[in-house]
Amino acid sequence: MNLVAKNESALDRCIRVVFGLALLALVFVGPRSTWGLIGAVPLITGALGSCPLYRLFGISTCSTQR
């Protein structure tokens, strides 16, 4: 049973995970800014494969809907 409908393509998910990890790195290295915690959002949405904003606006980057 899938509770979250996928609306992100594999490329979209990969980009989100990489971007999220890069932002989270700001917490531990570099300027050590807590703003890097914002990186958790794209990391989580990329890991789940579903973006709430995409659903709100009816957007999907998946090639096929499941």
pLDDT for res 63: 82
Domain boundaries, given as residue ranges, for the chain: 10-57
Which of 40, 41, 63, 62 lies closest to 52 in space, CA to CA? 41
Question: Could you read off the pLDDT of 9-29 as tens digits, one per residue?
Answer: 999 999 999 999 999 999 988
Mean pLDDT across the chain, nearest whole number? Answer: 90
- Distance, in Å, from the CA atom of 47 to the CA atom of 35, rounded to the nearest integer, reads 20
The amino acid that residue 3 corresponds to is L
Who has greater pLDDT, 1 or 40? Answer: 40
Please classify residue 34 by burial: count the beta carbons closer than 10 Å to its beta carbon, then call 0-12 exposed, 13-18 middle and 19+ buried.
exposed
- Distance, in Å, from the CA atom of 43 to the CA atom of 35, rounded to the nearest integer, reads 14
Question: Could you read off the pLDDT of 26-66 as tens digits, one per residue?
Answer: 998 888 888 899 999 999 999 999 999 999 999 999 886 55
- Distance, in Å, from the CA atom of 38 to the CA atom of 3, rounded to the nearest integer, reads 24
